[in-house]
């Protein structure tokens, strides 16, 4: 995930998410389900509006679900339970 930038027209904060095109629509639809404003740019990137820290965490979590292996997700969950 790239650092956020500020739009000159709306003043909203956006994060550009670089993910494979094969996963982009699934991530996009999941963000829409969570009512997180986002759009798919013509260059293949996904632009997500981030207004607060909770949104950053949700975006990170969703992208992680699609970008890491099942075993990595299992290992991560097991580490969470050990805390």
Query: Which string of DSSP letters, residue by residue, matches the chain?
Result: -PPPEE-TTT--EEEEE---HHHHHHHHHHHHHTT--EEE-TTS-EEEE--SHHHHHHHHHHHHHHHS-HHHHHHHHHHHHH-
64-74 residue pLDDT tens: 898 889 999 99
Q: Where are the domains of the chain?
A: 5-82
Mean pLDDT value across the chain: 83
What is this structure's pTM?
0.73
The answer, yes or no, to whether residue 82 has pLDDT greater than 70, is yes
| Between 59 and 3, the higher pLDDT residue | 59
Q: What is the fold of 5-82?
A: Ribosomal Protein S8; Chain: A, domain 1 (3.30.1370)
The answer, yes or no, to whether residue 58 has pLDDT greater than 70, is yes
């Amino acid at each position: 995930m790239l650092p956020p930038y500020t739009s000159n027209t709306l003043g909203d904060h956006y994060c550009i998410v670089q993910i494979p095109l094969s996963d982009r629509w699934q991530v996009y639809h999941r963000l829409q389900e969570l009512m997180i404003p986002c759009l798919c740019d013509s260059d293949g990137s996904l632009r997500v509006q981030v207004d607060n820290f909770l949104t950053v965490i949700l975006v990170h979590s969703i992208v992680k679900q699609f970008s890491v292996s099942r075993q990595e997700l299992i290992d991560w969950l097991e580490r969470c339970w050990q805390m």
